[in-house]
Structure 1
Amino acid sequence: MPAAKQFQVTFDCAEPERVARFWCEVLGYELHESGVVCADPTGVGPRLYFQRVPEGKVVKNRVHLCVRVGTGLVGAERLAALEAECARLVPLGAVRYQLLVADEENESCLVMQDIEGNEFCLD
């Protein structure tokens, strides 16, 4: 049996069109299918689908996206890249949550929230 080669990430949300527009801006994706699907214009990245649900977010996400803006960078250079992307995303409605500073195992990352409070990382 062949292994899956593509996948879709599905977000439960109150306002699918609004959240989809936010993520298209964050990732440089294109809006498709009644404004609730984000697709990578290169066809490489996963498709994102936003579905309306009646209940609100209650606890921390079990799965989150990491937006890779600091790949290959370390120290002050990495922090500068994370801060620059944070500054771009806050006017779109993102909320800065917590800076996790590098330790012996991990490089620095910046935890943020999207416009409905879903956590994601600038990594």
Structure 2
Amino acid sequence: MTSVKQFQVAFDCAEPMRVGRFWCEVLGYVAPPPPEGFSTWEEYNNSLPVEQRDSWFVCSDPTGVGPRLFFQRVPEGKVAKNRVHLDVRAATGLVGEERLAVLEAECARLVALGAVRVRLLPADGEEESCIVMQDVEGNEFCLD
């Protein structure tokens, strides 16, 4: 029997704070308070040696239900399709035109934040419609 009760999702990225703040807006997540002695994360970040600045960012669901997200800087860029991705559940339980309207409205909000719409996957009789998107660094996710 396993003892794991929680997990976090880790993102490799070039700009952790930028990508993390995007996902905070998408999901309604929040960053923890900055370390003691600093009024903002930017102030803390600027206190670090240049090579350590913007090397990570973390945020979590303020309700405590969703997993924590951890963003870490890596030297290599994204070169292939993600093997794991997030499904942003914006239209759970909705079908047909009502579902599409909700998905399109949320898609427009996310595009305004810097996301890119890739394609609509229309309902096929088994699965309902969803929109494939990319975050601000090109990581794929589904608006579902």
TMscore range, shorter length: over 0.9
- 1:23 pairs with 2:44: no
1:49-68 Cα offsets, whole Å, 9 max, x none, are 00000000001000000000
Tell me the residue number matched to 2:8: 8
**RMSD after superposition:** 1.2
Tell me the residue number matched to 1:88: 109
- TM-score, with normalisation over the residues of structure 1? 0.96
Tell me the residue number matched to 1:110: 131
- Identical residues among aligned pairs (%): 76
Q: Which amino acid aligns with 1:72?
A: G
Give the distance between the partners of 2:139 and 2:80, measured in 1 at CA: 9
Any unmatched runs of 5+ in structure 2? 35-40, 42-55
1:73-98 Cα offsets, whole Å, 9 max, x none, are 00000000100000111111000001
Task: Tell me which protein shows more strand as a share of its residues.
Answer: 1
Which secondary structure does the structure 1 equivalent of 2:110 belong to?
Answer: helix
- TM-score, with normalisation over the residues of structure 2? 0.82
Give the distance between the partners of 1:102 and 1:31, measured in 2 at CA: 36
1:19-49 Cα offsets, whole Å, 9 max, x none, are 0000000000001365700110000100000
Paired residue total = 123
- 1:78 pairs with 2:91: no
Runs of 4+ in structure 1 displaced over 2 angstroms? 32-35
Which secondary structure does the structure 2 equivalent of 1:87 belong to?
Answer: helix
